[in-house]
Structure 1
Amino acid sequence: MSTPDQIDGALHPRDTATLFGQDTARQTFLEAYAAGRLHHAWLLTGPRGVGKATLAWQIARFLLATPAQQDDGLFGAPPPPETLHIDLQHPVARRIASGAEPGLKVITRTPNPNTDRMRDQIVVDDIRSLAGFFQLSATDGGRRVVIVDAADEMNSSAANALLKMLEEPPERATLLLISHRPSGLLPTIRSRCRTLRLGTLAPDDMARAFAQAGFEVGTEAPALAELSGGSVGAALRLSLLEGLKTYADLVTLIGTLPRLDRQAAVKLAEAASARGSEAKRDLLFELIDLALSRLARTGATGSPPSVEAAPREAETFARLAPNARAGRAWAQIAQETGARVQHGIAVNLDPAALVLDTLIKLSQTADA
């Protein structure tokens, strides 16, 4: 079973050897380190699945395994490090891999001791545990590193407790905060961190990341890159949940509009409502929203997507969104159906009925 900071079926970021496509963020950190301007707190931001956690673990290994910079001696100062890479056989790397490195503390969501179920938030006790971590480890004078994955998941009490630590940071401590939505963090937390922004990956980098994770995507790589928006994490989720097939089925169904193929619609709805298929249900609604966004963009720009993520997608979208007026209609229905889906899930409406209702709304929009 995966942990809260790991995608189901994928390598843990701790065990991911190479980070692809994020040279700028990596170089920014190295330059700050070499110049002696190592900030006590770093905010790693960017879309989900682009390597923020992998970079945080690389930085942690680097900081804990790299000796402190010395003043110029008889032979001058050693050259500054040019890479974050630490050999995986290094004692620090081996201790981190086994969860036995005393200089590293990882904060993620934890199980509720009363129910044994995973909490959906990082709570104040998770953050308060850092006080003991810093006190116990202060005697040997070594560096200490904390990874918070993800800072977005802190509740208000946890966020305020972390803020107090950022206001009075422990000596030789570095905090690495991973955030998918930095705008949701307290402004005072953001202001006390230096930001490292990670971007989406190009298709070639995504293909290399997939190969490292042990996934062979072959000819599906361009479609996965297109639907995932350059996020390896999102692409892995698509691959593991057969998202490309679902999207192809959805585009085929959209191609029947305005006369909705009811039989195909019912089949898609029933697949989303099967027992234990909550992840596929959520993915289906995300793909519907994505298809509507691509339809709206087709109408607004006057041209369908340059990379097809499903057979006959360009032809279908060009027919259903031939102009800006149609594009606005699809954008409007995307907003409306998105709100209806969120409400429906919140009140536990039947997933099959929710899917069918959404598809009927699409049919009505196409007819109009």
Structure 2
Amino acid sequence: MSDDALPPDQISGAAHPRDTQVLIGQTEAEAAFLDAWTTGKLHHAWLLTGPRGVGKATLAWRIARFLLATPDADAGGMFATPTPTTLEIPADHPVSRRIASGGEGALKSVIRTVNPDTKRMRKQIVVDDIRALNGFFQLSAADGGRRVVIVDNADEMNVNAANALLKMLEEPPERATLLLISHQPSGLLPTIRSRCRTLRLGTLSPDQMAAALSASDVAVEGDPAALAELSVGSVGGALRLSLMGGLQIYAELVALLSSMPRLDRARAIKLAEAAAQRGAEEKLTLLFSLIDLMLARLARTGATGAAPETEAAPNEAQALTRLAPTPQQGRVWANLAQEVSDRAQHGLAVNLDPAALVLDTLHRIAEHAPR
């Protein structure tokens, strides 16, 4: 499958969350769900929240395998089902095999779909994607078993899709469990949030990050400490950085920062043109996210009077300290970070020339550098 054909819930070059058997660093969230199961308090809808890339989708697929592979607790007696102590379901279990092959009829994944008119991936989950669940529930109800729906991610639903899902949450199908993945739950309808039980996933520690990257089966390139620093405890973010050359991009940004207040124009043009190439949309998005991060690190350096302990690029601490020497300058960078983020989002939304957008952003940063 080419990168263009990848589903929106998969990182290019990495395994799909469906195929990720190991989840590291989220024992509290797993224990909370398992407790609800064992105490007979299983809610019909769960909202999995937390920063992007910390394992929400992996947990959703683990829960789905568990729900579809684990028999209901018996009423008691000598043949009572043992109480499960883990969500782990072996990879060779029939349910695991069917899910891995996409042949599990009791499971439905809702993601953004291709627009049949334009043949391009939609930017939102639309109402038809949610309404398709009605047919799924009707067909899968015949055997009386559990049914599971994963919405990845719920933040991408448009208004009509959100309202259609809300109706399902208000009148949930029998023996159905809906798992909603959300990076920014504050953007969801309050009525959707109120009808779900929330599982909050946290960022990973450096040791957990190292273990997760090792278990990812991806040949990770770059300094693990730098990847952990730039990804802010998100293994998904670290994988994206590694697979898309994020460390090199950030090092180039820091080199440009070191030249300020005079901007190395030739170097800036080269970076802008690389990010503006056809097919480089993901790298362009990554570039702006790294610019946001660099500005945030500048603001924090000014506020605290010290650069971050871990350098994410050569000579970063020296550049941050020189350009953010005071709390006042730290506030300048904090304000600029919001402005740059808003301008970039608007520019990308209205399809401004990417190279010009990058160059304009770099010039704005240089203009705010102390002289």
Which TM-score applies when normalising by structure 1? 0.95
Find 2:184's aligned residue among 173, 181, 186: 181
Query: Where do 4+ consecutive residues of structure 1 move more than 6 Å?
Result: none
Percent of aligned positions that are identical: 68
Superposed displacement of residue 55, structure 1: 0.5
Q: Find the counterpart in structure 2 of residue 47 from structure 1.
A: 51
Aligned residues: 367
Confirm whether residue 310 of structure 1 aligns to residue 313 of structure 2. Answer: yes
| Distance in 1 of aligned mates of 2:140 and 2:341 | 48
SS in 2 for 1:255: helix
Q: Does 1:193 align with 2:218?
A: no
SS of the residue aligned with 1:139?
helix
State the Cα deviation string for residues 314-349 of structure 1 (Å, max 9, x = none).
Answer: 111111111101101111222222222233333333
* CA deviation after TM superposition for structure 1 residue 119, in Å: 1.5
How has the CA–CA distance of structure 1 residues 275 and 172 changed in structure 2, closer, same or farther, with 3 Å as cutoff? closer
User: Residues 192-211 of structure 1: matches in 2 within 5 Å?
Assistant: 192-211=195-214
Using the alignment, how far apart are the partners of 1:129 and 1:229 within structure 2?
Answer: 36
Q: Are the structure 2 counterparts of residues 138 and 343 from structure 1 closer, same or farther at C-alpha, using a change threshold of 3 Å? A: closer
Task: Give the deviation of 1:148 after TM superposition.
Answer: 1.0
Cα deviation digits, residues 140-163 of structure 1 (max 9, x gap):
221111111111111111111111
| Equivalent residues of 1:45, 1:181 under 8 A apart | yes
The match for 2:31 among 27, 31, 35 is 27
Equivalent residue runs for 1:2-151 within 5 Å: 2-73=6-77, 75=78, 77-151=80-154
Q: Secondary structure at the match of 2:368?
A: helix
User: Which residue identity does 2:167 align to in structure 1?
Assistant: K
Q: State the one-letter code of the partner of 2:16.
A: H
Distance 2:273 2:311 in 1: 26
Partner in structure 1 of residue 340 of structure 2: 337
* Matching residue of 1:226: 229
2:291 aligned partner, one-letter code: I
Q: 1:344–1:354: 8 Å Cα contact kept in structure 2?
A: yes
Q: Which runs of 5+ in 1 are unaligned?
A: none
Moved more, 109-118 or 75-84: 75-84
Tell me the distance in 1 between the aligned counterparts of 2:69 and 2:337: 49
**Structure 2 Cα separation of the partners of residues 109 and 309 of structure 1:** 33
Which deviates further from its counterpart, 319-328 or 115-124?
115-124
Distance change (3 Å), C-alpha of 1:349 and 1:115: closer
Amino acid at match of 1:184: G
Asked if 1 retains the 8 angstrom alpha-carbon contact of 2:210 and 2:224, the reply is yes
Q: State the TM-score, normalizing by the size of structure 2.
A: 0.95
2:282 aligns with 279
**CA 1:109 to 1:347, structure 2 compared with 1: closer, same or farther past 3 Å?**
closer
For the aligned residues, what is the CA RMSD? 1.6
| Partner SS, residue 42 of structure 2 | coil
**For the structure 1 residues 135 and 348, does the alpha-carbon distance in structure 2 shift closer, same or farther, using more than 3 Å as the test?**
closer
Aligned to 1:262: 265
Give 1:123 shift.
1.5
